[in-house]
Amino acid sequence: MSTMIYIDGSRGEGGGQIVRSALALALVTGRPVTIDNIRSGRQKPGLLPQHLAAVNAAVEISGGTARGAALGSRCVWFKPHAPRSGEYHFRVGSAGSATLVVQTVLPALMLAGGPSTLIVEGGTHNPWAPPFDFLARAFVPLINRMGPRITIQLDRHGFFPAGGGSLRVQIEPAEALAGFDLCERGQIVDCRARVLLSNLPAHIARREIDTIVEKTGWNRGACSIDEVSATGPGNVVILEVASADVNEVFTAFGQKGVKAERVATDAVNQALEYIDSGAPVGPYLADQLLLPLGISAWQASSVHAATPVADASSVGARGASDAALPSPGGREEKRNQPGGSFRTLPLSDHSRTHIELLREFLGISIEVESSANDRNCTVRIK
């Protein structure tokens, strides 16, 4: 029987990511986990609807057992069984983030014994979670370089606070996750802006586009407005910076009482800081890449090879193919490359907490080396 691992949810930034990542790692490794002091660093501690939905989703895909799975709970015990591929439909309720539920179960289903389909209802565009556009345009393309084949589509927008959105994910699993190195950005080939607007005056989006063009100098023809149907009002500014090796996406959310110009400026500042840094990976994408690259390194470890902790047909303990795959930089790399590296801006508290969790749960090495001017750093996972 695998040894129970205890995770203190108050560590570091003390947010909900500790819950999601601990559940994801339990599913992949087969290790039972106790998560205590959940979200103690937040004004309203304990499980919120999206965290409870993540716990329930982890139980459903693995046939596992959970205790403490209730709104407001500050301690959850979870014992997984081998994850099962299949068709799943999860409902978060209100505007709780659907994307965060996806990220909880996606790693295990990327290594399951067959294809899966996820439908998740809830918030697709929530200020405190990766929006759908970030997953589709920045995160999923990099995950597809690791062996799985993921497609993600938006069926219905769900803005905070009304929610009511829906997204669909199709997953073709891999036998194991290939790592990659992403330390050079390459030439920027395109910069685009898009404003989402629902049930709000059109002048808001026009003012945001005007601000983007003024502050970036981007071609107005590369800026668009999408008026979409949703349950409630919503406004999101989305900037995409595409380079030879990676796409990055930066977002800002309209809020009551906040001027459109300020919302657009927030997104612009994020994009310009990224462009000026020269790093290929932005701060949010850096945080999202730590988990899959960590799993890749763990799968290749001698301990895992000697003592697989879950059913091989479910979590990819079979070993990776040696077929060559295109690397992020256009080079050929072996599909069994473990872990990887990337260069990014200075790490957030969120990412530093995530690194501590991965080291503890997976027993892998993660090194962070700052540049001479401290404007960026290189993360190596091995």
Residue type (1 letter), 345: L
Quote the tokens at residue 120: 């998740």
Q: Is 10:41 a contact under the CB 8 Å cutoff?
A: yes
The residues, any chain, with a CB within 8 Å of residue 43's CB and separated by 6 or more, are none
The residues, any chain, with a CB within 8 Å of residue 201's CB and separated by 6 or more, are none
Q: What is the rounded CA–CA span in Å between residue 226 and residue 195?
A: 6
Active site residue 350: yes
Q: Which of 51, 125, 157, 350 is catalytic?
A: 350
Q: What is the rounded CA–CA span in Å between residue 155 and residue 193?
A: 21
Decide: helix, strand or coil at residue 52: helix
Give the position of tokens 């749960």. 361
Q: Is 344 exposed, middle or buried (0-12, 13-18, 19+ CB in 10 A)?
A: buried
Q: What is the rounded CA–CA span in Å between residue 195 and residue 209?
A: 8
Dihedrals φ, ψ of 179, to 5°? -85, 175
Q: Is 321:199 a contact under the CB 8 Å cutoff?
A: no
Q: What distance separates the 2 farthest-apart alpha carbons in the chain?
A: 62
Q: What is the rounded CA–CA span in Å between residue 106 and residue 136?
A: 14
Q: What is the rounded CA–CA span in Å between residue 121 and residue 17?
A: 19
Quote the tokens at residue 155: 């069926």
Produce one character per residue of 75-86: b if its CB has 16 or more CB atoms within 10 Å, e if not.
ebbbbbbbbbbe
Q: What is the rounded CA–CA span in Å between residue 156 and residue 253?
A: 18
Give the position of tokens 């289903």. 109
Element (H, E) at 232: none
Residues with active-site annotation: 350
